[in-house]
Amino acid sequence: MAEKDLRVNEQIRSREVRLIRDDGEQEILSVSQALEFAREAGLDLVEVAPQAVPPVVKILDYGKFRFENEKRLRDSKKKQKLLKLKEIRMQPKIDDHDLDFKSKHIKEFLIDGNKVKVTIRFRGRELAHTELGYDVMKDVLSRIEGEYVMDKPPAMEGRFMSMVLGPKGKK
């Protein structure tokens, strides 16, 4: 449940609430009694489980509680790794040296944890010989030696043949 949905102090609408104290002890009280305890402690009464019957409340510093939740959310976002899709383009009439060079780049992208889309563009009469594209794709796969997971096998899409490779160990 988002913090914005949490009710604090006078916003709590039910007659009775289950108050959880700092020591973990629970008791059912009226909202006015629970609010009185919170005021004596100089803290806020926060509804932490409104769907429960009766709703569960805690006495805590609401500002600090919100700050810690936002901090936890920021930290979890920092640890996320965004997967990028890199694209390598080539033609069916590619030279061995160029294929080595492009395969090396594909390997580096995969090691860095990125997905790679390998695309072969066919022009003019090359479109009649799509098997050459499949041969180039097989050659690329043999040169990167198992550093990949095949996300999408080679397939024709108009004038282009493409396949998508993902890093090994992650899918």
pLDDT score for 117: 95
> 126: Cβ–Cβ under 8 A, 6 or more apart, which residues?
91, 92, 93, 132
Edge-to-edge strands of the sheet including 26-30? Answer: 26-30, 16-20, 56-60, 44-49
Vertex 91 angle, CA 89 and 95, to 5°: 105
3-class state of residue 111 by DSSP = helix
Give the pLDDT confidence of 32-47 residue by residue, as tens digits: 888 888 888 888 888 8
**pLDDT tier for residue 4 given thresholds of 50, 70 and 90:** low
Q: What is the pLDDT of residue 171?
A: 45
56: β partners: 18, 49
Q: Which of 21-25, 93-97, 112-116 has the lowest mean pLDDT?
A: 21-25
User: Encoding tokens for residue 125?
Assistant: 């009469």
pLDDT at residue 1 greater than cutoff 60: no
For 9, 14, 56, 110, the CA distances from 88, given in Å and listed in that order, are 58, 61, 56, 12
Query: Is the distance from CB of 21 to CB of 36 less than 8 angstroms?
Result: no
